[in-house]
């Protein structure tokens, strides 16, 4: 059984669209690979550790829930 031939929307290369192919149906496997980024470490860069981040979250939630409307 032959798989349908598609043209990549990014690079223009032709590829076979196989079932269970990761990524998008209009991108070749090379263009579908997820980019390596440090998004996890960038979001926690402002806090020294999880304890500080959790304390800040609790403080913000408390302020939001119990603030008095002027």
**pLDDT tens track for 39-48:** 555 454 555 6
Work out the number of other CB atoms within 10 angstroms of the CB of residue 23.
13
Tokens for 44, please give them.
């926690």
The candidate with the shortest Cα–Cα distance to 3, out of 14, 19, 27, 23, is: 19
**4-43: per-residue pLDDT in tens?**
898 988 898 998 888 887 778 888 888 887 765 555 554 5
Rounded CA separation 3/19 (Å)? 9
The reported pLDDT for the residue numbered 19 is 85
The β-bridge partners of 7 are 14
**Average pLDDT for 45-66:** 82
Tokens for 36, please give them.
């390596």
pLDDT band for 65, please (50, 70, 90 cuts): confident
């Amino acid at each position: 059984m032959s798989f349908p031939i598609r043209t990549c929307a990014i690079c223009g290369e032709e590829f076979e669209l196989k079932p269970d192919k990761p990524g998008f149906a209009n991108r070749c496997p090379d263009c579908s690979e997820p980019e390596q980024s440090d998004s996890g470490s960038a979001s926690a860069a402002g806090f020294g550790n999880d304890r500080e981040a959790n304390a800040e979250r609790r403080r913000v939630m408390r302020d939001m829930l119990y603030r008095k409307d002027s």
